Amino acid sequence: MSAPDLTSLPSLPRDDEGPAFAEPWQAQAFGLAVRLSAEGHFTWKEWAAALAAELKAAADRGEPDDGSRYYEHWLAALERLVTRKGLTDTAALAARKQAWADAYRHTPHGQPVLLPKSSS
Amino acid sequence: MDAPHHKHDHQVIPSDPALRTKALESLLVEKGLVDPAALDAIIDAYENKIGPRNGARVVARAWVDPGYKERLLRDAGPAIAELGYSGAQGEHMVALENTPAVHNLVVCTLCSCYPWPVLGLPPVWYKSAPYRSRAVIDPRGVLREFGTELAEDVEIRVWDSTAEVRYLVLPERPPGTGNMTEEELAALVTRDSMIGVAKIAAPRGVEA
């Protein structure tokens, strides 16, 4: 095997041959988009367009796009698309995010984190 | 460096994107819009099972079986499906043959369209702006950075993936591999060679 040495490249980040998820949530966000598309909630073409728009917006803001924030853009695109499709709305997403943060805050270390029944 | 040492009387609160992902997932699962088991299956498949190995088996088969190679180059989707791999999004697959005269390079200038069923998840550099823009403007320079030097008379063809069409490069079979089995050949095939940023080196002990 002759893996090219790319460590000398400042602008061309790369990884090993393994999966390109840096954190578990990235795999989760990835799977959500694939699954929602497979279920017919949006087409893959719509998804590609939403993601491209998000990447372009980031570039227009002058953010360095070296791939490191890729899944953040992926997630933003997914939030935008599911909201636009009426699958959920931004208020529900914000409330649910807060509920998860609270659940982590109030769950003793070592116990599974569960949402209280009332949160929706 | 150690993380600040405070008493963990509650759970560590996940990062902002992690919380947002949990929010999204839990809401959609509750509404019955996403089946959590199907979601886990996808993640597991892409993380562990699918990967460049699928593509490597396709390439090795094409090297040893001229009939398969012909089918692959004529219509890659069904040929890939013959080996049991099929597209997650049903996109059209095209196989591109590298020869001593023509070198194919795949990019997605728009975002990161990638032949997932055969190559797994795209590497970080494939998704980066520098690769996405420079692969088109200066393919020879990009190839050089991957350690791939091509003679001046080799034609480089750059293919821009879309949501509908995905490309798989069929790299050149390296010299000195005439006696190798299909399985041994598959082990030589790298992900980068199937994206077209690298060639496949001859096995150790064989002079190119």
Domain boundaries, chain A: 43-104
Judge residue B101's burial from the number of C-beta atoms within 10 Å of its C-beta, 0-12 exposed, 13-18 middle, 19 or more buried.
exposed
B74 CA: distance to closest CA in chain A (Å): 24
How confident is the model at residue B99, as a pLDDT? 97
Of all residues in chain A, the one with the smallest CA distance to B148 is A4
Percent of all residues in chain B with a pLDDT value above 70, rounded to a whole number: 88
CATH of the domain at B132: 3.90.330.10
Q: Which of residues 144-183 of B touch A (CB under 8 A)?
A: 145-148, 162-164
The rounded distance, in Å, linking the Cα atoms of B65 and B68 is 5
DSSP B193: H
B91 CA: distance to closest CA in chain A (Å): 9
Looking at the structure, do residues B37 and B107 belong to the same domain, yes or no?
no
The backbone region for B205, taken as left when phi is positive above 0, alpha when psi lies in -120 to 50, beta otherwise, is left
Q: Which residues of B fall within a CB distance of 8 Å from A115?
A: 26
How confident is the model at residue A119, as a pLDDT? 45
How confident is the model at residue B151, as a pLDDT? 92
Looking at the structure, do residues B132 and B120 belong to the same domain, yes or no?
yes
How confident is the model at residue B90, as a pLDDT? 54
Instruction: Note whether B130 contacts A: Cβ–Cβ < 8 A.
Output: yes
pLDDT at position B1 over 50? no
How confident is the model at residue B48, as a pLDDT? 65
pLDDT band at B206 (very low <50, low <70, confident <90, very high): low
pLDDT band at B9 (very low <50, low <70, confident <90, very high): low
Q: Quick check: B31 and A88 CB within 8 A?
A: yes
Looking at the structure, do residues B62 and B21 belong to the same domain, yes or no?
no
Within a domain: B77:
yes
The mean pLDDT of chain B is 87
On whether the CB atoms of residues B75 and B100 are closer than 8 A, the answer is: no
pLDDT band at A18 (very low <50, low <70, confident <90, very high): very low
Looking at the structure, do residues B44 and B90 belong to the same domain, yes or no?
no
Residues of B tagged active-site: 108, 111-113
Residue of higher predicted confidence among A114 and B47: A114
On whether the CB atoms of residues A56 and B132 are closer than 8 A, the answer is: no
User: Which range of residues forms the domain containing residue B40?
Assistant: 17-26+33-48
Of all residues in chain B, the one with the smallest CA distance to A50 is B111
Residue whose token pair is 């090993």: A16
The backbone region for B176, taken as left when phi is positive above 0, alpha when psi lies in -120 to 50, beta otherwise, is left
Q: What is the total count of domains within chain B?
A: 2
